[in-house]
Amino acid sequence: MDGTETRQRRPEELGLLHGLSTGRLPEASEDGLLSVPESQRVAPKPLGPELSRETTLSIGLQVTVPFLFAGLGLSGAGILLNYFQHWPVFTEVKDLLTLVPPLVGLKGNLEMTLASRLSTAANTGQIDGPREQHRVISSNLALIQVQAAVMGLLAAVAALLLGAASGQELDAAEAEVLCASSVITAFLAACALGTLMVCIVIGARKLGVNPDNIATPIAASLGDLITLSILAFVSSFFHKHRDSRYLTPLVCIGFTALTPLCILIAKQNPPVVKILKFGWFPIVLAMLVSSFGGLILNKTISKQQFRGMAVFAPIICGVGGNLVAIQTSRISTYLHLWSTPGVLPLWMKKRWPNPRSTFCSSEINSTSARVLLFLVVPGHLIFFSIIYLVEGQSVPNDKTFVGLYLLAGLVQVTILLYLAEATVRLTWNRALDPDDHCIPYLTGLGDLLGTSLLALCFLAHWLLRSETALDGTPEPASGPS
């Protein structure tokens, strides 16, 4: 049997808490494959000290605080969206609401992907030296600026096309406002969040904390707030000055002119050059998937039976994207440390893993999946309580709605965590980097799943209330859960 095909036993079997042990044969793997004798074994790469010492408690402690902090940001984003939807620019430029999920979702496509790449680089010691650190960071920041400018324009075009396909009239002035607002928002948000991610990853590395556990939640916590705020104010500015013939084209040209400079900086790092050439498909596809979620939001948000949906949409989409990004980043780091691209460890050979092994085994990735899944219900209850305290009776708050809402969140995250395990295995088996290819797909799918399940939640709640009213039975008591 080929040496690269039979690399290692599970980290748990190797006793990483006390160093890598040798001299005994491993047991059969979950997939029924037996390992080979020590004489034929390729020496495994030791896991990083932070990863090898992680337990359920340590993962929970590291993830919970950033997750709750992220939830506060997502709650704030929901409240802001509920407020912004009544601004003249949002009521008159209808496609602007369609733009919200894909544009806000860029934090999953770009900033969370950046955080995952930097976390992997930090855990594998690639940015420990100051010279290498500067090269890796500057090239990655330049990369996301290029991606943000292009994706901002594509998101606006997708919103316009979806609007036209659904029967909305296309106005040239509104199209200019939409495109200019999208490009500038994406560019400025990527700059702010990218810089923040760099600081967090470097700081976590110095403090001995696994950046996989904290970088993506913090990106989620501030990403929605920053992106929504920039979009609202920038689009309002352009909407007020929409009669100025040359304003929006000049501003777009000015920001676009920075793109060649960013490309030159990005070319310092060969892995980044590869992403710049071949890494567009995942983020473009993720943006298109998110755009369909935006179309659902646009078509439902103004209807009576969906009253309050604007508040909850950023939360349910953000929580799902946040948790799946953490899991994807962790599995990617695990594979970078434990294997080589194109070769899966023996215990991860199945392309479509058994859901039982994803959530119920003793492996570190299964442990983290359980921790993340456990956070869904208490997290949503906390965020729901915050929304209720701020918005009061303007949002549904009876027990039936809370139950449906929690069920929607749990279903969304369960599906995403399973798909994270499956897609990381698939991309790694094809010698692709999961940091760059999986997170965009999964966060985009999280937006679509979250928006769809939330719309079903509101619709089911409205139908149940209507049926209750027809039967003449008293409605469930209202109040915060």
178 in Cβ contact with 97 (< 8 Å):
no
Helix (H, G, I), strand (E, B) or coil at 33: coil
Query: Which of 342, 405, 409 lies closest to 372 in space, CA to CA?
Result: 409
What b/e readout covers 178-194, taking b as 16+ CB neighbours within 10 angstroms?
Answer: bbbbbbbbbbbbbebbb
Kindly state the tokens that stand for 419. 């798909």
In a domain, 41, yes or no: no
Q: Note down pLDDT in tens along the chain; length 481 residues.
A: 444 433 444 444 444 333 333 333 334 444 433 343 444 343 444 444 455 567 888 888 888 888 888 888 888 888 888 888 888 888 888 778 888 888 877 765 677 778 778 887 887 777 778 888 888 888 989 998 998 888 888 888 888 888 888 777 777 778 888 888 888 998 898 888 888 888 888 888 888 777 877 776 676 667 788 888 999 999 999 888 888 878 888 887 887 788 889 899 988 888 888 888 888 888 888 888 888 888 888 888 778 888 888 889 888 988 898 899 889 888 888 888 878 888 887 777 776 788 888 888 888 888 889 999 999 999 999 999 999 898 877 788 889 999 999 999 999 999 999 999 899 988 888 888 887 788 888 988 988 999 999 999 999 999 988 877 776 655 555 454 4
In a domain, 48, yes or no: no
Q: What domain range includes position 423?
A: 57-464
Give 450: exposed, middle or buried? Use CB within 10 Å, 0-12, 13-18, 19+: buried
The whole-number pLDDT of residue 53 equals 62
The whole-number pLDDT of residue 404 equals 94
The whole-number pLDDT of residue 257 equals 82
Give the C-alpha separation, 284 to 292, whole Å. Answer: 13
Strand partners, 478: 398
Give the C-alpha separation, 343 to 330, whole Å. Answer: 18
Give the C-alpha separation, 341 to 240, whole Å. Answer: 52
Q: What is the largest CA-CA distance in the chain?
A: 78
48 in Cβ contact with 337 (< 8 Å):
yes
In a domain, 40, yes or no: no
The overall pTM is greater than 0.75? no
Give the C-alpha separation, 108 to 446, whole Å. Answer: 10
What b/e readout covers 44-56, taking b as 16+ CB neighbours within 10 angstroms?
Answer: beebbebbbebee
Strand partners, 343: 340
In a domain, 178, yes or no: yes
In a domain, 3, yes or no: no
In a domain, 252, yes or no: yes
E strands present in 117-210: none
Give the C-alpha separation, 265 to 273, whole Å. Answer: 10
Taking CA atoms, 181 is separated from 72, 93, 145, 230, in Å, by 26, 12, 16, 9
In a domain, 318, yes or no: yes
Give the count of domains, the chain.
1
In a domain, 2, yes or no: no
The whole-number pLDDT of residue 458 equals 92
Report how far Cα 193 is from the mean position of its chain's Cα atoms: 13
The whole-number pLDDT of residue 221 equals 67
Place of tokens 């007020």: 240
347 in Cβ contact with 331 (< 8 Å):
no
Query: Which of 449, 476, 347 lies closest to 27 in space, CA to CA?
Result: 347
The whole-number pLDDT of residue 374 equals 93
Kindly state the tokens that stand for 298. 């646009």
pLDDT, tens digit, 9 for 90 and up, residues 26-59: 344 444 333 434 443 434 444 444 555 678 888 8
